[in-house]
Structure 1
Amino acid sequence: MVGPARPQFVLFGSSIVQMSFGHGGWGAILSEVYARKADVILRGYYGWNSRRAVEVVDKVFPKDAAVQPSLVIVYFGGNDSMAPHPSGLGPHVPLNEYVENMRKIALHLKSLSDSTRIIVLSCPPVDEAKVRQNQSPYLSEVIRTNELCQKYSDACVDLCKELGLQVVDLFSTLQKPDDWETVCFTDGIHLSAEGSKLVAAEILRVIKEAEWDPSLHWKSMPTEFSENSPYDLVSADGKSTLNSSEWTYFWDHQWD
């Protein structure tokens, strides 16, 4: 930890989380929006499903940690929703078990502190044609379909409503563009920069609209060392400065 301490936002999930700090990724967007306001911390694990996450959630988020996160954004479901392989191997998790795993994860996170907030991302769609095109022959029986993705997404959304958690319905969000299959993915599964913009915008909308006290919306949070400096830009009257900690997104309303 380097001081002074900022609120911690932790991204916890599988490959869509692990890859979210790549060029144009939604994690990178959040880090830029919350620069000098919160530390966005990556805890992404390529290939994981909810079963593996349940096994280690108390190690990733220990209850006795000196500092607990202000926000945890959780995503599991894409790997769980893959059809079971005849061998019994692979990441598939039956729907009922997936829901209970997500319940356990959410309840553990809720127990960290009274001020820890949670946003869950549901299972996104896939470009089925692109997935089949990129699939290795030895994985030909591992199936990803949007019919399965929607079942897991809907179950996740229903669980969040039951637990009173904020949720981003990725299955619907990523299908907003008419050409979503082309623009939202790099390989039919993982997000492109355009897909990441949609995800980031939905996360920021949820944060803005959530009735959390204190608010975690970026405009509502204090900026670290926000006082004016002689090295900042001087305004036209020569008497005041434009603090660079505040003006990066001053004119950019896409994240309002």
Structure 2
Amino acid sequence: MADGVLFSPTSTLVRYKTGPHILLNSLPPPFYYLHSAPPLMNWAEQADIVLRGYSGWNSRRALQVLHQVFPKDAAVQPSLVVVYFGGNDSIHPHQTGLGPHVPLPEYVDNMTKIALHLKSLSDKTRVIFLTAPPVAEDLMNTTLGNVFDMVRTNEACGVYSRACMKLCDEIGVKGVDLWSSIQQTDNWKNCFTDGIHLSPQGSKVVVKEILKVIKEAEWEPSLDCRFMPVEFPEDSPYDMVGNDGKTINICNFDFNKIALWD
């Protein structure tokens, strides 16, 4: 059995029962669509899914526990780790010196170290980085303005997002430009519940972009759920019975997966 832990301010443990396993990181909560709806359910016969997260974290704090979360001497290493850090890093520095802000050069250095460590876990470990998403500033100021004494701007998120994508090109890591993808959708501010955290609509955009990378990547073995082995796939007399009086092995039905990916 393969184990793994997602890496982000809020994350989801995905443990594969057989074969390789995928670690799908979530963006800041709520990430309802990815957590509970069809996308991850398409791996249900290949994976056990356990929710786990590091709320409010930045890349600096993630780097401090990197080797604990992903030890090199683990018996089984992940096949794919989807990593998201950057939104909290991009928050403007606070006058007290406290807070989650990480200067851009340090952010790039931290993400480089995270990527190189993950890639070193095994020859089959793949990495996808998600960039900082945009911020709906008006909505954020309305809903959270009286809660936090921090400055978070869409412009800064864009700077960190572009730096992340540039890094991906340089070190051979797949990247998803959430800052651009979300803003290219109609009424993109509806992708957020409070200007920062994703709504189901926003989560669908993220899921679509992650699945696109997995589908198009020429990875061996494939991490496309349509081509991955399931646990206990053998026929059984307890299977559903068809109109011809014979049992039907539901494991062989992939219509839901086809609908998701096409």
TM over 0.5: yes
In structure 2, the residue matched to 1:220 is 227
Deviations 1:141-176 (A, max 9, x none): x11111101100010011011111111111122223
In structure 2, the residue matched to 1:123 is 132
Contact 1:9–1:40 (8 Å) recurs in 2: no
In structure 2, the residue matched to 1:192 is 199
In structure 1, the residue matched to 2:108 is 99
- 1:36 equivalent to 2:45? Answer yes
Instruction: Give me the whole-angstrom Cα distance separating, in 1, the residues matched to 2:29 and 2:40.
Output: 9
In structure 1, the residue matched to 2:73 is 64
1:48 CA drift (Å): 0.4
- 1:78 equivalent to 2:87? Answer yes
Unaligned runs of 5+ in 1: none
In structure 2, the residue matched to 1:13 is 8
Seq. identity, %? 54
Letter in 2 for 1:218: C
Unaligned runs of 5+ in 2: 12-24
1:230 CA drift (Å): 2.2
Contact 1:14–1:49 (8 Å) recurs in 2: yes
Instruction: Give me the whole-angstrom Cα distance separating, in 2, the residues matched to 1:86 and 1:21.
Output: 27
Letter in 1 for 2:256: F
- 1:156 equivalent to 2:164? Answer yes
Contact 2:241–2:248 (8 Å) recurs in 1: yes
Instruction: Give me the whole-angstrom Cα distance separating, in 2, the residues matched to 1:169 and 1:176.
Output: 11
In structure 1, the residue matched to 2:62 is 53
Runs of 4+ in 1 over 4 A off after TM superposition: 16-23, 40-43
Instruction: Give me the whole-angstrom Cα distance separating, in 1, the residues matched to 2:157 and 2:28.
Output: 20
Contact 1:83–1:144 (8 Å) recurs in 2: yes
With over 3 angstroms needed to count, the CA separation of the structure-2 counterparts of 1:160 and 1:191, relative to structure 1, is same
Deviations 1:56-96 (A, max 9, x none): 10001011111111111100001001111111111000111
Q: What are the within-5 Å matches in structure 2 for residues 162-181 of structure 1?
A: 162-181=170-189
- 1:230 equivalent to 2:237? Answer yes
Instruction: Give me the whole-angstrom Cα distance separating, in 2, the residues matched to 1:175 and 1:112.
Output: 34
Instruction: Give me the whole-angstrom Cα distance separating, in 2, the residues matched to 1:126 and 1:18.
Output: 17
In structure 2, the residue matched to 1:254 is 260
In structure 1, the residue matched to 2:20 is none
Q: RMSD over aligned Cα, in angstroms?
A: 2.2
Quick one: which of 216, 222, 225 aligns to 1:209?
216
TM-score by length of 2: 0.86
SS in 2 for 1:119: strand
Letter in 1 for 2:111: M
